[in-house]
Amino acid sequence: MSTATGRAAESSAAAYLKKNGHKIIAQNWRTRWCEIDIISQKGGTIYFSEVKYRSSAVWGDGLDYITAKKLQQMHYAAEFWIASNNDSANYQLLAVSLSGTPPQVNALVEC
C-alpha cells in the first residue's frame, strides 16, 4: 500500500469520527517508540484509533490484523501519550476498518 493510500484511509477514518461527534486532536502522532494513527476526543474520553485499510477482503478484513501484540502496542502508545500530555482523562482504543476506492469505513470496533 502506498503512503497516499494510507493517508487517504486515515483521512476517511478521521472524517467518519468527526461525523460521529469526535474532535480530532492529532493524526499520525509518532515518537521513536510508538505511533497512533488518530487521537480524538468525545465527551470526557480520549480515543486512540488504529486505522486498517484493505483494498479487498481476499487476505482478510483489516480487523483481522489487530492482534494481541498490536493491542499491547496500542495500550503502550495511549499511555505514553497520556503521560506526555499530563492528561488524566479516560481513554478507549478503537480499530477502524476501511476498504474500497475511495476508502470507506466498514467497521469501528472498541478494543
Q: What is the pLDDT of residue 5?
A: 83
The per-residue pLDDT for range 38-79, each reduced to its tens digit, is 999 999 999 999 999 988 766 767 788 888 999 999 999 999
pTM of the model: 0.91
Among the listed ranges 2-6, 10-14, 78-82, 103-107, which one has the minimum average pLDDT value? 2-6
Give residue limits of the domains in the chain. 3-110
CATH number assigned to the domain with residue range 3-110, chosen from the 4 options 3.40.1350.10, 3.40.630.10, 3.10.180.10, 3.80.10.10: 3.40.1350.10
Q: What angle do CA 55, 21, 98 make, to 5 degrees?
A: 5
Q: How far apart are CA 48 and CA 46, in angstroms?
A: 7
Q: What is the pLDDT of residue 101?
A: 85
Q: How far apart are CA 83 and CA 70, in angstroms?
A: 20
Grid cell 466498514 — which residue?
A: 106
The per-residue pLDDT for range 17-30, each reduced to its tens digit, is 999 999 999 999 99
Q: How far apart are CA 37 and CA 49, in angstroms?
A: 6
